[in-house]
């Protein structure tokens, strides 16, 4: 199957279309990105299923539908240019972002995951990604403002530092909540933030403070 990953990826993309992903460029990127490179050997046979999978350290690679939707939502509200991702994890979402936006900044609190993700992105010749080991709850003020922010772990409350690092007109997509999580979109208009609840979701928690 893996020698023919594009066949498997094509079936996945057909499913994502049926589930409502519309952005042709995002779908093409998913079709051309080898998700099997972002999971452990024992799980490779599941890499083109539309499911989240464990990546070690209690973390997961997000479900392809969610990866596609979060990317599409940012594009639909006009985000382009420079984006920040919080929660690099496997680096799969990062790889999709790197092919959709000019510059990607990505923060991960677990160093081993960050290093592995960095290697994978280089393997795919994706060099427009800047990575940082640290607490993404605080964002990346030295590189702010961002046109878009995508958070791939669930925050128990809205991280104010992230909102403050959005440029005017910029947007952030983030799961909010603990047991019941809602994917939420914030759009900055001057000093105001308009928010829209998008869908119920299930993410690992965004951990505030320490790094490991």
According to DSSP, residue 95 is labeled H
Q: Smallest distance, Å, CB 209 to ligand SAH?
A: 8
62 is catalytic: yes
Say whether residue 72 binds ligand SAH (CB under 6 A).
no
Helices 5-18 and 24-32 cross at an angle (nearest 10°) of 150
Long-range CB contacts (< 8 A, 24+ apart) of 61-65? Answer: 61/35, 61/89, 61/90, 61/92, 62/89, 62/92, 62/93, 62/152, 62/203, 64/12, 64/16, 64/30, 64/35, 65/15, 65/16, 65/19, 65/21
For ligand SAH, the binding residue among 124, 158, 187, 204 (CB under 6 A) is: 204
Binding mask 146-185 for ligand SAH (x = CB under 6 A): ------xx--------------------------------
Taking CB under 6 A as the binding criterion, the range among 18-26, 96-104, 190-198, 200-208 that sits at the site for ligand SAH is: 200-208
Active centre residues (catalytic): 62
Name the residues that contact ligand SAH, by CB under 6 A: 55, 59-62, 86-87, 89-90, 92-93, 107-110, 113, 135-137, 152-153, 204, 206-208
């Amino acid at each position: 199957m893996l020698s023919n990953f594009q066949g498997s990826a094509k079936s996945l993309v057909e499913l994502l279309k049926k589930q409502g992903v519309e952005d042709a460029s995002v779908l093409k990127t998913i079709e051309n990105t080898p998700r099997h490179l972002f999971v452990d050997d024992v799980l490779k046979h599941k890499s083109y299923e539309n499911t989240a999978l464990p990546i070690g350290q209690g973390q997961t690679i997000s479900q392809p539908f969610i990866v596609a939707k979060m990317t599409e939502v940012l594009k639909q509200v006009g985000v382009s240019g420079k984006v920040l991702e919080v929660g690099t994890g496997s680096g799969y979402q990062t790889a999709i972002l790197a092919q959709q936006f000019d510059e990607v900044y990505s923060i991960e609190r677990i160093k081993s995951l960050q290093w592995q993700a960095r290697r994978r992105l280089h393997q795919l010749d994706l060099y427009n990604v800047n990575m940082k080991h640290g607490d993404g709850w605080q964002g990346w003020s030295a590189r702010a403002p961002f046109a878009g922010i995508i958070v791939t772990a669930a925050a128990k409350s809205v991280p104010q530092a992230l909102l403050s690092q959005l440029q005017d007109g910029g947007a952030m997509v983030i799961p909010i909540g603990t047991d019941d999580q809602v994917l939420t979109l914030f759009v900055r208009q001057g000093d105001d933030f308009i928010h829209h609840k998008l869908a119920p979701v299930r993410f690992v928690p965004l951990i505030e403070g320490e790094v490991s």
